Amino acid sequence: MGRITLDKVRKAFGDIEVIPPLDLTIEDGEFVVFVGPSGCGKSTLLRLIAGLEDVSGGQIRIDREDATNLPPAKRGLAMVFQSYALYPHMSVRKNIAFPMKMAGLPQDEQERRIESAAKALNLTDYLDRKPGQLSGGQRQRVAIGRAIVREPAAFLFDEPLSNLDAALRVGMRLEISELHKRLATTMVYVTHDQVEAMTMADKIVVLRAGNIEQVGSPLELYNRPRNVFVAGFIGSPKMNLITGAEAAKHGATTIGIRPEHLVISTEGGAWKGEIGVSEHLGSDTFFHVTVNGFEAPLTVRASGEVSLSYGDTVWLTPNEANLHRFDAEGLRIA
């Protein structure tokens, strides 16, 4: 079981409050992703849950038991660090065995768990190597293996993929999701990469300056962002945010429209503009279009076959049903 409840949890370093009082419930078996820009307090929040930092106020409950003042080892959580934090002088086998050795598990039980973890993570051939002899992806798997064998109530991941190259990251992303489906254990995952958040999460928690901006499933966040920050943060490429006269026409301070909800035409439409840079991905093409009277260029998604070149004049028409409207405080107008 791994139900984690944060009740008015607060964290301050000296006079600086990094996390104002915050409530959050992570259900058992859920894959929760904390996402936000650098310095938003997401790693601190994870370390508070892990017990590596003391809370300045509030209560942390794990399975209804107060864990606020428990030392990290007693919380029954396992953590995978950004740097993997493998013990360099121990072989992979000893690294994975370390938490079990500390818990004083019998030798044959240790062996059994190491074998099954190694098999699940494709590490069987590397058990007697030192971490220094492994590639980044393999080290990552060893770190996960070390977490699995403890059979924890929940896994905590602190930006585990940020040191891997792009191709490996996609692979590891799938492996971790796969692992979650198989183990059905609670996982809390911290990342600044919203693609990771969208692809892996059951529930995304968007953080900014220690505040929770929105909690919800990936599609909820994508389709109904609660405010301008979430609208701009979730989705790649970013949602186009338009202020000024055009927004006022729709009765809002800011309007947002995603690149795929703009129709591009060479004959006529709502907004006239000029093609800037185009990015060809094969399946899709993204055009950056400068529209007269708008501050920033708009990003438009078109199918891969559309061919327009730099400087061409085009017209853009927003899909009214998918237009997001935000008020002066940046909150969504329903």
Partner 1 sequence: MATKHSRMSARLMISPAVLLLLGWMLIPLSMTLYFSFLRYNLLMPGMEEFTGLTNYRFFLTDPAFFAALWNTIALVVGVLVVTVIGGILLALLLDQPFFGQGIVRILVIAPFFVMPTVSALVWKNMFMNPVNGLFAHAAKALGLQPFDFLSSAPLASIIGIVSWQWLPFATLILLTALQSLDQEQLEAAEMDGAPWIKRFWYIMLPHLARAITVVILIQTIFLLSVFAEILVTTNGGPGTASTNLTYLIYMQSLLQFDVGGGSAGGVVAIILANIVAIFLMRMIGKNLDA
Residues within the interface to partner 1 (CB under 8 A): 50, 52, 71-73, 77-79, 81-83, 85-90, 98-99, 102-103, 132, 146, 150
How far apart CA 293 and CA 136 sit, in angstroms, is: 48
* Share in percent of the chain as helix, strand, coil (round to 5): 30, 35, 35
How far apart CA 61 and CA 139 sit, in angstroms, is: 31
Least distance to partner 1, CB of residue 43, Å: 11
Least distance to partner 1, CB of residue 238, Å: 32
- Which is nearer to partner 1, 159 or 213 (by Cβ)? 159
How far apart CA 159 and CA 231 sit, in angstroms, is: 22
How far apart CA 128 and CA 175 sit, in angstroms, is: 23
- Spatial CB neighbours of 243, under 8 Å, sequence gap ≥ 6: 253, 254, 295
Q: Which residue has tokens 């009214």? A: 320
- Which is nearer to partner 1, 50 or 127 (by Cβ)? 50
Least distance to partner 1, CB of residue 92, Å: 15
Specify the 3-state DSSP secondary structure of 250. coil
Burial string for 51-68 (b: 16+ CB within 10 Å, else e) reads bebebeebebebeeeebb
- Which is nearer to partner 1, 103 or 331 (by Cβ)? 103
> Which residues does residue 5 pair with via DSSP β-bridges, in sequence order?
25, 61
- Which is nearer to partner 1, 85 or 168 (by Cβ)? 85
Least distance to partner 1, CB of residue 219, Å: 33
Least distance to partner 1, CB of residue 70, Å: 12
- Which is nearer to partner 1, 83 or 223 (by Cβ)? 83
Structure tokens at 287: 């055009």
Least distance to partner 1, CB of residue 51, Å: 8
- Which is nearer to partner 1, 1 or 102 (by Cβ)? 102
